[in-house]
């Protein structure tokens, strides 16, 4: 059975199919109105959300189905100490498919391990956000007509921004993509994305310090919010919070056809004056999020019993009860989960739940 926990769970063909169905839904909405009549989606949101939860809800409603769940875990049995795994075992009796957002990294993976209905990761800590990635891919395709060959600049919080991590992972499937990383030193892209994705899949990438020096080369500018809630140190947050701001003056340096994306919410990294610029695609992006989630729910339910759409094998994963993940935000430090780790291309070891480094190759 196919779950969507990480963008790498989907093959290129599966992503193409989801995007093609989303485009078909946009063209012929009425044809999909009743296709999941009586179907039920559970949304388990342990962390705040506006867009993602409402777009999942709207998506299921537009397919003719129903939605149940919670948006504040304090009102559920979680408050009594129920584990993610137990909550999901219970909810799988009531719903055909589950979308889960959690502040602990790896919570959706732990849920998928015990679930007999498809699980969708709607964001886990600063780790991954694969449905935002599908939204972003559909948006790039609709704005520019293609994804192959683009130069995309990621700007802002590349350290904690889970949408950035997931989109870069998906871009490994496209030809001749160039990634430009625009961030202050404190907010640079984690090494595991650089090594295990960019270098492993030969994605051409460069790191720069200012937006101005690259704006004229970009087809897509992907702006992000500095993720205040993930900072342990408030002073550090204050130092970087206004690092990069997109305004009308800077937009003059950009190409005529560049698309500005942002997963939203924005704080002050895009000035409101940019909203009227035809290149500002972020509100159209939100709308695409609903259509792509409709397509995803539809596909995961269609693929459920099809062995051709099983989860990809993970020959690099292994169980090691003696190893321990030191990331305080990893589910493995809060709940009892299988002690799973993976070997990296360079021979190191990482946690499969959160991708934190366990050992360098040299330490083995």
Q: Which is nearer to ligand NCD, 85 or 122 (CB)?
A: 122
Asked if residue 123 binds ligand NCD (CB under 6 A), the reply is: yes
Asked if residue 139 binds ligand NCD (CB under 6 A), the reply is: no
Q: Which is nearer to ligand NCD, 152 or 358 (CB)?
A: 152
The residues, ordered by sequence, that sit 6+ positions from 13 with a Cβ below 8 Å of its Cβ are none
Asked if residue 108 binds ligand NCD (CB under 6 A), the reply is: no
In the shown chain, the binding pattern of residues 21 to 60 toward ligand NCD, with x for contact by CB under 6 A and - for none, equals ------------------------------xx--------
Q: Tell me how far CA of residue 38 lies from CA of 61, 65, 88, 99, 306, in angstroms.
A: 10, 5, 20, 17, 21
Question: Cβ 359 to ligand NCD, closest distance in Å?
Answer: 29
Asked if residue 264 binds ligand NCD (CB under 6 A), the reply is: yes
Asked if residue 132 binds ligand NCD (CB under 6 A), the reply is: yes
Question: Cβ 306 to ligand NCD, closest distance in Å?
Answer: 29
Q: Which is nearer to ligand NCD, 162 or 293 (CB)?
A: 162
Residues from 153 through 172 that contact ligand NCD (CB under 6 A): 162-163
Question: Cβ 216 to ligand NCD, closest distance in Å?
Answer: 26
Q: Give phi and psi for 151, each to the nearest 5.
A: -110, 120
Question: Cβ 125 to ligand NCD, closest distance in Å?
Answer: 10
Q: Which is nearer to ligand NCD, 47 or 85 (CB)?
A: 47
Q: Which is nearer to ligand NCD, 153 or 263 (CB)?
A: 263
Q: Tell me how far CA of residue 94 lies from CA of 4, 38, 184, 355, in angstroms.
A: 19, 12, 46, 31
Q: Which is nearer to ligand NCD, 170 or 358 (CB)?
A: 170
**For 205-211, which contacts have Cβ atoms below 8 Å and span 24 or more sequence positions?**
205/178, 205/179, 205/180, 205/181, 206/178, 206/179, 206/180, 206/181, 207/180, 207/181, 207/183, 208/180, 208/181, 208/182, 209/182, 209/184, 210/182, 211/153, 211/155, 211/182, 211/244, 211/246, 211/250
Give the span between the Cα atoms of 272 and 4, in whole angstroms.
34
Distance from the Cα of residue 347 to its chain's centroid: 26
Contact 146, 113 (CB under 8 A): no
Member of 109, 263, 297, 350 binding ligand NCD (CB under 6 A)? 263
Binding region for ligand NCD (CB under 6 A): 51-52, 123, 129, 132, 162-163, 225, 263-264
């Amino acid at each position: 059975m196919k779950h969507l926990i990480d963008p790498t769970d989907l093959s290129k063909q599966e992503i193409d199919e989801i995007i093609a169905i989303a485009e078909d839904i946009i063209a012929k909405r009425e044809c999909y109105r009743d296709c999941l009549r009586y179907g039920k989606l559970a949304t388990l949101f342990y962390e705040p959300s506006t867009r993602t939860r409402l777009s999942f809800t709207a998506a299921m409603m537009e397919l003719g189905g129903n939605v149940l769940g919670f948006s504040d875990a304090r009102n559920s049995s979680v408050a009594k100490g129920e584990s993610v795994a137990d909550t999901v075992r219970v909810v799988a009796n009531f719903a055909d498919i589950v979308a889960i957002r959690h502040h602990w990294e790896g919570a959706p993976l732990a849920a998928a391990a015990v679930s007999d209905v498809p699980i969708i990761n709607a964001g886990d800590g600063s780790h991954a956000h694969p449905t935002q990635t599908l939204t972003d891919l559909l948006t790039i395709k609709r704005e520019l007509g293609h994804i192959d060959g683009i130069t995309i600049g990621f700007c802002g919080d590349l350290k904690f921004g889970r949408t950035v991590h997931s989109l870069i992972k998906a871009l490994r499937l496209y030809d001749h993509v160039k990634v430009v990383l625009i961030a202050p030193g404190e907010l640079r892209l984690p090494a595991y994305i650089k090594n295990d994705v960019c270098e492993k899949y030969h994605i051409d990438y460069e790191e720069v310090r200012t937006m101005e020096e690259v704006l004229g080369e970009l087809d897509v500018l992907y702006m992000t919010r500095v993720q205040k809630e993930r900072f342990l140190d408030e002073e550090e947050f204050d130092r970087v919070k206004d690092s990069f701001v997109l305004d009308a003056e800077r937009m003059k340096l950009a190409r005529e056809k560049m698309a500005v994306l942002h997963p939203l919410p924005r704080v002050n990294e895009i000035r409101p004056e940019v909203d009227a610029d035809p290149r500002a695609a972020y509100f159209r992006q939100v709308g695409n999020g609903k259509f792509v989630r409709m397509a995803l729910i539809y596909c995961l339910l269609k693929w459920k019993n099809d062995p051709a759409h099983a989860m990809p094998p993970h020959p690099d994963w292994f169980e090691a009860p003696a190893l321990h993940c030191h990331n305080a935000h990893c589910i493995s430090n809060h709940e009892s989960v299988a002690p799973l780790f993976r070997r990296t291309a360079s021979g190191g070891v990482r946690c499969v739940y959160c991708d934190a480094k366990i050992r360098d190759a040299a330490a083995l």
